[in-house]
Amino acid sequence: MNRVLHHEVDREETDDALAAGMQASRLQDFLKGRRDRLELSQTQVAERLDISDRSYGSWERGRVKEWTDEKLYALAEALEMSEYQTTRLFLYAVGRAPQPDLMATFHRTELQNPAVAAFLGDYTVMMDALSLPTFVINQRWDVKMANKAYRDLFREVRSHPTAMPLGNFLRFGLFHPDAHTVLADRRKWQLAMLAQLSSSIERHDDDPKLQLLRREVLLNPVLRDAYLKDMPNWVLGSGADLVHHEGTVRALRHPDARLGLQGCRLVEETPRSLKALGLTRLTLVLVGAFSPHFEMASRDHGFQKGHSVTSDVTPGRARAQVANTAAA
């Protein structure tokens, strides 16, 4: 009997060792692949982390006594990882996704740093010097910074208690009655925004503000139909990761009559310094006069007037999330 028990224990220990080895191998391949993609040496990454070359070599080989959230967030910043890549890092290192509360605390602490506040002040000045509408958002799509060109773009929008363009980008596009006066193609803007909402909730499913926004969408009959029925089909046709899909052009009407109806491409260009604070910078790139038939086609659809946004939701994720929402 004892021999059988010892054999079972030995086999479990062997299985655990094999699993740990496979996990370390995946982590090593992931980190090295990311470093190679950035064309960085181990020494350069170590400098970004303010640790020794030897220590980083151990990190990359997975030989770490204990992975803490602070270490993993720092590593994600040093290797310029996206949110999706950061999630993969946590799964490979500690077998779980990042904890949003800890991530928010990490970013909030950084934002309270006087040096960070000074940097953000200087960054705002730099943004104001740009001619294109540029703004910075957090994970909830709250607008944290915006330049003069962005403010001018929405200067004729009437006051609204909860959906101003300098408040929350998604909420403005979905609920402000004047959103269509700037974002001319209602259907494409709106579907993209709803896809972004779906994607954001998937990544931050315990965020109360995102959950509240979805509840408000589902209470609106037109938005509910678009979210549950039309948005998943739109994602299937348009593809995923639209936040980086810089070929997508939508119609935007500038209040300056000399510009009028323009094609608009939404481009993300977030430096590491902002990404480390949980912020994303977006620019509305105006690409020239847009064809009038663009707006006419949108009149055939019974969508509320919407706003620009991008999405990295995949077709499979969209179908699953919509199914869960409909069942709720």
Rounded mean pLDDT for each run of 10 residues along the chain, 328 residues in total: 50 50 77 88 89 89 82 84 79 78 52 74 88 92 91 91 90 93 86 86 84 94 91 66 58 91 88 86 86 44 37 39 41
Among all chains, which residue has been given the structure tokens 């055939």?
300
- The pLDDT, as a whole number, for residue 213 is 94
- Rounded Cα distance between 314 and 218, Å, is 21
Q: Which of 165, 109, 129, 25 minimizes the C-alpha distance to 277?
A: 109
- The pLDDT, as a whole number, for residue 34 is 87
- Rounded Cα distance between 104 and 210, Å, is 14
**How many residues does the structure list for the chain?**
328
- Rounded Cα distance between 154 and 166, Å, is 9
Beta-strand runs (E) in 228-313: 250-253, 261-268, 280-289
Beta-strand runs (E) in 147-279: 250-253, 261-268
- Strand 134-137 and strand 250-253: the pairing is unpaired
- The pLDDT, as a whole number, for residue 111 is 59
Among all chains, which residue has been given the structure tokens 């020794």?
52
Among all chains, which residue has been given the structure tokens 């208690």?
161
- The pLDDT, as a whole number, for residue 151 is 92
Q: Which of 58, 73, 70, 5 minimizes the C-alpha distance to 27?
A: 58
